């Protein structure tokens, strides 16, 4: 039976001699001339006897000029289809015409209300919902393959095609413009009646043929949504009010990387169940603001809040809900509070000189609620393949569907998500979840760094890149600060007094650990973040309790080792990080965000010790040496180490150095640590004769006035006429920080 096939074909480029080629299976293609054609389009009519055929197009009779064959299933005696030159899909309904104006040109004419970030990565196309200064909302949506796109919401009673009983007169269709790569793929539309607080979604009319079926239209979530309404099933996006927030951080400056003491916290878990926070604020941004008002972070000594993911995730909050299953990268998690409340958190932190960085999970997305999955397909067959998610995905990761960070389209979205956080919420930077090159494209990370540093030159960039790789160092000082894998695993092995994962507790690990892995991969001290606890790791106390070493599982041993681990993190070269609750030496398994907390932290010995140590780092430049090579700069000198002679720690798990940040000897510090389970006598060659005041041990921190009561005459001081202490005994699991305080008075 002969079937009549009508094919409408449009192209980006002018057509001189449009030609269609048609074949059955692997048969020889036939050449078909158009019935009619204009500059950019052509119509072909052909009779065909087979149910399935394959077609492609060229300009002229050279069929090799185009290798894109499209499969067509002739489901009726008379079939009309539409094909577009910029994608491989066969459409069953007439697609939208392409507006002559490029998207960037139209967006440039719009007068947006201030205080909004207008998407610009790859092109200023105003994706998402952006409020206009004169009223109304401009909607933008990226989709290269849709036949037509509509926006619907509370402003038009959710009227859209495909809805039973829908009123076509209320449909709001978007126009198609050239966007990314100068190809028609950006849909724009202004809705004068829309306003902040309105809920909305996009309706994508696929009209795509897959086999004998036509893929129906879909009501989809805006990938650029800023916030969501209360309906957790429908998940409508919310138009966010860009009205000016009363920022009070005009004089604030982001601290340089080497000044940071980072405090990792979960926005909900940080305050849940804690009596000092009003019940209505627990688990919210407001609860963190309460702690800021109480001066908690000032007392502890941290100056950088690192918030675990604040992007929308589908998992209900709970003790193990970490937020590392992002659904929409640009949207704030509604469970934590409103956009205005998040701004208040950043504002209050900045007023106290504290930086705020947020965790970005760009390596995978949630599976439960995933608006990007199959939103844009690479090819028609992908619709029916359960393991392929379309344009934004590429294979799998250990945690879910791997995002295609190697693709410019995904890169544009992720970079826009970061820029939005910088512009609208004033954050200081980002920590990026698992960025190893086996999962995430490092060309993307370097592009991201370039664009974000151009927008905010002092931005803080941190990567969970493990095992560590040197290509993220960039120029060293401006590179990503990577979570220091060697330090974490090494410190856990030393504290457990036995192997930890791939790391053994051999003495030779100490040098690289404490000198920022300079010989392994780091170029600059800015390239490392040192830590012994995080959301991903068991606490030190838990590790000690579960060690098979005899005598370790005692309260005294766990507390002592916990102090040694925290102390080592604070004084190693690089940036220190602690995890919420670590200041109380909690015995806690990994991936728990709820934790018990003393009613009065100031009465907790471990908290007081930890706060004292953090404030020492804040005060003394010798505890935050920074640069490409402090040894070469004359600021750092090893005093004891496993590779030195027998009198200075040979083959022992001991490490110590002299820090001289300036030419003034009064700034000189000596730092000593012993990870052995027994005392180790060493010879100290401190370089300066005179009095060395002990600022800290594993049991006590006492600073000099006006902070503490320490003094030149303290009984814990060291007095050496020539800077040499012939036999200094380092107790087991110990730490010392000494400061040179001058020569003793003549007797």
DSSP assignment of 501-527, as one string? Answer: TTB---TTHHHHHHTTTTTTT-SSGGG
Beta bridge partners of 37: 42
According to DSSP, the β-strands at 137-142 and 128-131 are antiparallel
Model confidence at 313, in pLDDT bands (50, 70, 90)?
very high
C-alpha span between 211 and 75 (Å, rounded): 9
Any idea what DSSP says for residue 161? Answer: T
Tell me the pLDDT tens digit for each residue of 424-450: 999 999 999 999 999 999 999 999 999
What ranges do the domains of the chain cover? Answer: 3-85, 103-238, 278-621, 636-742
Cβ count within 10 A of residue 335: 17
C-alpha span between 358 and 288 (Å, rounded): 14
Q: What is the DSSP string of 405-472?
A: TTSHHHHHHHHHHHHHHHHHH---EEEES---TTTS-HHHHHHHHHHHHHH-TT-EEEE--SS--GGG
- Per-residue pLDDT, averaged over 515-531, amounts to 97
Percent of the chain topping pLDDT 70: 99
Cβ(578)–Cβ(302) below 8 Å: yes
Q: Which tokens is 707 given?
A: 């902070």
Strand order in the sheet with 175-178: 128-131, 137-142, 184-191, 175-178
Tell me the pLDDT tens digit for each residue of 167-211: 999 999 999 999 999 999 999 999 999 999 999 999 999 999 998
Q: Which of 729, 661, 724, 653 is nearest to 692 (CA)?
A: 724
Which residue did the predictor score with more confidence, 469 or 386? Answer: 469
Lowest mean pLDDT among 314-318, 665-669, 682-686: 314-318
- Per-residue pLDDT, averaged over 300-317, amounts to 96
The pLDDT value recorded for residue 503 is 82
Q: Cβ neighbours of residue 164 under 8 Å, at least 6 residues apart?
A: none
Mark residue 374 as left, alpha or beta (left: phi above 0; alpha: psi -120 to 50; beta: remaining). left
Q: Is the pLDDT of residue 258 over 70?
A: yes
Cβ count within 10 A of residue 275: 10
- Per-residue pLDDT, averaged over 24-46, amounts to 93
Q: Is the pLDDT of residue 141 over 60?
A: yes
Cα–Cα distances (Å) from 492 to 434, 463, 510, in that order, read 20, 21, 12
Cβ(409)–Cβ(392) below 8 Å: yes
C-alpha span between 372 and 311 (Å, rounded): 15
- Per-residue pLDDT, averaged over 532-550, amounts to 92
Cβ(620)–Cβ(738) below 8 Å: no
C-alpha span between 294 and 587 (Å, rounded): 26
Cβ(403)–Cβ(390) below 8 Å: no
For the chain, how many residues are written?
Answer: 747
Quote the crossing angle between the two packed helices 485-496 and 555-571, to the nearest 10°: 150
Radius of gyration over alpha carbons of the chain, in Å?
Answer: 31
Q: Is the pLDDT of residue 242 over 60?
A: yes
Residue with tokens 């594993």: 698
Helix (H) or strand (E) holding 291: helix 285-294
Q: Which of 535, 551, 552 is nearest to 589 (CA)?
A: 535
Q: Which of 519, 530, 465, 518 is nearest to 492 (CA)?
A: 530
Q: Which tokens is 703 given?
A: 């600073």
- What do you get for the CA distance between the two ends of the chain, in Å? 119
C-alpha span between 210 and 229 (Å, rounded): 34
Q: Which of 628, 625, 256 is nearest to 473 (CA)?
A: 628
Percent of the chain topping pLDDT 90: 89
C-alpha span between 470 and 521 (Å, rounded): 5
Cβ count within 10 A of residue 381: 12
C-alpha span between 533 and 156 (Å, rounded): 51
Q: Topology of domain 278-621, per CATH?
A: TIM Barrel (3.20.20)
Q: Which tokens is 91 given?
A: 């459409």
Any idea what DSSP says for residue 619? Answer: H
According to DSSP, the β-strands at 393-397 and 400-403 are antiparallel
- Which CATH number is 103-238 given? 2.60.40.10
CATH 2.40.50.140 fits domain 3-85: no
The pLDDT value recorded for residue 502 is 79
Helix (H) or strand (E) holding 103: helix 103-108
C-alpha span between 304 and 516 (Å, rounded): 20
Any idea what DSSP says for residue 500? Answer: B
The domain at 636-742 falls in which architecture? Sandwich (2.60)
Model confidence at 322, in pLDDT bands (50, 70, 90)?
very high
User: Is residue 386 helix, strand or coil?
Assistant: coil
Model confidence at 363, in pLDDT bands (50, 70, 90)?
very high
Q: Cβ neighbours of residue 217 under 8 Å, at least 6 residues apart?
A: 161, 162, 203, 204, 205, 206, 207
Helices and strands (DSSP H and E) totals, the chain: 11, 40
Cβ(264)–Cβ(306) below 8 Å: yes
Q: How far is CA 111 from the centre of its chain?
A: 31
Q: Is the pLDDT of residue 747 over 70?
A: no
Q: Cβ neighbours of residue 265 under 8 Å, at least 6 residues apart?
A: 288, 305, 306, 307, 308, 579, 580
What's the whole-number average pLDDT of the chain? 95
C-alpha span between 196 and 440 (Å, rounded): 36
Cβ(684)–Cβ(639) below 8 Å: yes
C-alpha span between 642 and 639 (Å, rounded): 10
C-alpha span between 45 and 707 (Å, rounded): 88
Same fold, 3-85 and 103-238: yes
Q: Which tokens is 460 given?
A: 């803080």
Q: Is the pLDDT of residue 746 over 70?
A: no
Residue with tokens 């800015």: 526
Cβ(598)–Cβ(583) below 8 Å: no
The pLDDT value recorded for residue 109 is 96
- Per-residue pLDDT, averaged over 644-653, amounts to 97
């Amino acid at each position: 039976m002969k079937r009549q096939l009508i094919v409408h074909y449009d192209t980006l480029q002018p057509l001189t001699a449009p030609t269609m080629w048609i074949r059955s299976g692997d048969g020889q293609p036939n050449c078909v001339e158009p019935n009619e054609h204009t500059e950019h389009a052509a119509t072909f009519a052909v009779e065909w006897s087979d149910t399935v055929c394959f077609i492609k197009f060229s300009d002229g009779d050279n069929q090799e000029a185009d290798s894109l064959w499209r499969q067509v299933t002739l489901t009726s005696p008379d079939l009309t289809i539409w094909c577009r030159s910029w994608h491989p899909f066969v459409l069953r309904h007439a697609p939208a015409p392409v507006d002559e104006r490029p998207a960037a040109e139209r967006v440039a004419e719009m007068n947006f209300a201030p205080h909004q970030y207008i998407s610009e990565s790859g092109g200023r196309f105003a994706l998402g919902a952006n409020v206009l200064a004169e009223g109304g909302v401009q909607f933008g949506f990226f989709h290269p393959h849709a036949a037509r796109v509509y926006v619907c919401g509370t402003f038009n009673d959710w009227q859209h095609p495909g809805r039973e009983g829908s009123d076509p007169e209320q449909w709001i269709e978007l126009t198609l413009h050239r966007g990314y790569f100068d190809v028609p793929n950006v849909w724009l539309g202004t809705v004068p009646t829309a306003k902040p607080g309105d809920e909305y979604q996009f309706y994508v009319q696929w009209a795509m043929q897959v086999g004998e079926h036509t893929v129906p239209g879909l009501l989809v979530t805006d990938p650029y949504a800023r916030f969501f309404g209360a309906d957790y099933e429908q998940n409508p996006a919310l138009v966010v009010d860009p009205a000016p927030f009363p920022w009070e951080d005009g004089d604030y400056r982001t601290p340089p990387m080497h000044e940071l003491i980072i405090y990792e916290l979960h926005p909900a878990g940080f305050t849940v169940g804690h009596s000092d926070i009003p019940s209505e604020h627990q688990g919210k941004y407001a609860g963190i603001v309460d702690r800021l008002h109480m001066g908690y972070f000032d007392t502890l000594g941290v100056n950088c809040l690192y918030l675990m993911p604040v992007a929308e995730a589908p998992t209900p909050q709970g003790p193990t809900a970490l937020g590392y299953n992002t659904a929409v990268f640009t949207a704030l998690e509604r469970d934590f509070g409103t956009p205005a409340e998040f701004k208040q958190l950043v504002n209050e932190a900045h007023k106290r000189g504290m930086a705020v960085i947020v965790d970005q999970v760009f390596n995978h997305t949630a599976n439960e609620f995933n608006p990007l999955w199959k939103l844009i397909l690479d090819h028609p067959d992908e619709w029916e393949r359960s393991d392929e998610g379309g344009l934004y995905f590429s294979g799998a990761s250990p945690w879910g569907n791997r995002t295609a960070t190697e693709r410019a389209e995904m890169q544009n979205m992720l970079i826009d998500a970061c820029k939005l956080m910088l512009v609208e919420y004033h954050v200081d930077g980002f920590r990026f979840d698992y960025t190893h090159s086996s999962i995430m494209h490092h060309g993307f990370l370097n592009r991201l760094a370039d664009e974000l540093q151009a927008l905010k030159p002092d931005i803080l960039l941190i990567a969970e890149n493990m095992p560590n790789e040197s290509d993220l160092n960039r120029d060293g000082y401006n590179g990503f600060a990577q979570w220091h894998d060697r330090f974490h695993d090494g410190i856990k092995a030393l504290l457990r007094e036995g192997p930890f994962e791939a790391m053994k507790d051999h003495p030779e690990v100490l040098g690289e650990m404490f000198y920022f892995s300079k010989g392994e991969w780091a170029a600059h001290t800015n390239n490392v973040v040192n830590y012994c606890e995080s959301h991903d790791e068991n606490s030190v106390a838990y590790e000690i309790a579960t060690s098979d070493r005899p005598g370790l599982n005692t309260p005294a041993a766990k507390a002592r080792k916990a102090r040694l681990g925290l102390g080592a993190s604070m004084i190693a070269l690089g940036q220190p990080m602690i995890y919420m609750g670590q200041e109380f030496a909690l015995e806690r398994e990994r991936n728990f965000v709820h934790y018990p907390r003393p009613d009065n932290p100031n009465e907790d010995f471990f908290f007081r010790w930890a706060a004292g140590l953090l404030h020492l780092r804040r005060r003394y430049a010798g505890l935050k040496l920074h640069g490409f090579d402090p040894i070469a700069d004359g600021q750092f000198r090893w005093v004891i180490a496993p590779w030195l002679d027998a009198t200075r720690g040979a083959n022992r798990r001991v490490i110590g150095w002299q820090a001289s940040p300036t030419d003034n000897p009064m700034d000189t510090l000596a730092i000593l640590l012993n990870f052995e389970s027994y005392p180790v006598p060493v010879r100290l060659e401190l370089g300066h004769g005179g009095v060395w005041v002990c600022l800290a041990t594993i049991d006590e921190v006492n600073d000099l006035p006006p902070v503490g009561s320490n003094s030149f005459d303290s009984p814990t001081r060291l007095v050496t006429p020539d800077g040499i202490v012939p036999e200094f005994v380092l107790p087991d699991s110990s730490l010392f920080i000494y400061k040179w305080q001058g020569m003793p008075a003549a007797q």
